[in-house]
Amino acid sequence: MPRKQKAHNFRTSLAKGASGVMLAKMVLRSKFPVIEDFDKDMRMQKRGIDLYVENLGYLEVKTDFHDTANFFVEVSVGVKPGTLDRSCADYLCCIFPTQRIMYILPRAYVVKYLRDKWAWLKRKKKVREITSYQGRNTWTAKGVIIDKQQLIRAIRRMKGKVLEITWEESEEVLARSQWVEVNSD
């Protein structure tokens, strides 16, 4: 039986996710200048796609504010598929703002790893249930905790590529700045 954790406020989680997408765009823009954000496109959101990054592909951004050596990957929400099976993205972008590190993982390789290792992950008690709420509505999601380095090594053994990107605090400050057009009359 998966271990349960405390309930999460869905609105707070959405806000954290939106801040992660903004930060991901800021960090990626220095390496990939053309990025399309699907924040307001419900069709793309339903497909599990947050960003299109030219010369990379479609990304589903997952934000984790914990300082951890693990990825948490949602596998189901209630009786519906979770992030991995619902998403049509090419990559999972796992961003850890407090550590200032981002991993771009090929989604198909993460799916293969989980399918190959699912029984082992369950035996090792890496499966977790998380309850979320919005108003009076509550639901449970199931996810799995995966050691970062173990997953990265497995993806590389499968001939997949993983991008690991870090940034400095000064780059975050610039990302929060608002640019204002000034008339030079």
Q: For 89-141, how does the pLDDT look when each residue is reduced to its tens digit (9 = 90+)?
A: 999 999 999 999 999 999 999 999 999 999 999 999 999 998 989 899 898 99
Q: What is the pLDDT of residues 28-54, one digit of tens each?
A: 998 899 999 999 999 999 999 999 999
User: Between 11 and 86, where is the model more confident?
Assistant: 86
**Residue 175 scores a pLDDT above 60:** no
Domains of the chain (ranges; CATH) run 3-171 (3.40.1350)
Cβ density class 127-161: b for 16+ within 10 Å, e for less:
bbebebeeeeeeeebebbbbebeebbebbeeeebe
pLDDT band at 181 (very low <50, low <70, confident <90, very high): very low
Which residues, 6 or more positions from 127, have their beta carbon under 8 angstroms from its beta carbon? 2, 121, 142, 143, 144, 145
Say how far apart CA 141 and CA 23 lie, in whole Å.
Answer: 25
Q: Report the pLDDT value the prediction gives residue 161, as an integer from 0 to 100.
A: 95
User: pTM (2 decimals)?
Assistant: 0.85
Say how far apart CA 57 and CA 72 lie, in whole Å.
Answer: 22
What is the three-state SS of the chain? CCEECCCEEHHHHHHHHHHHHHHHHHHHHCCCCCEEECCCCHHHHHCCCCEEECCCEEEEEEECCCCCCEEEEEEEECCEECHHHHCCCCEEEEEECCCCEEEEEEHHHHHHHHHHHHHHHHHCCCEEEEEEEECCEEEEEEEEEEEHHHHHHHHHHCCCCCEEEECCHHHHHHHHCCCCCCCCC
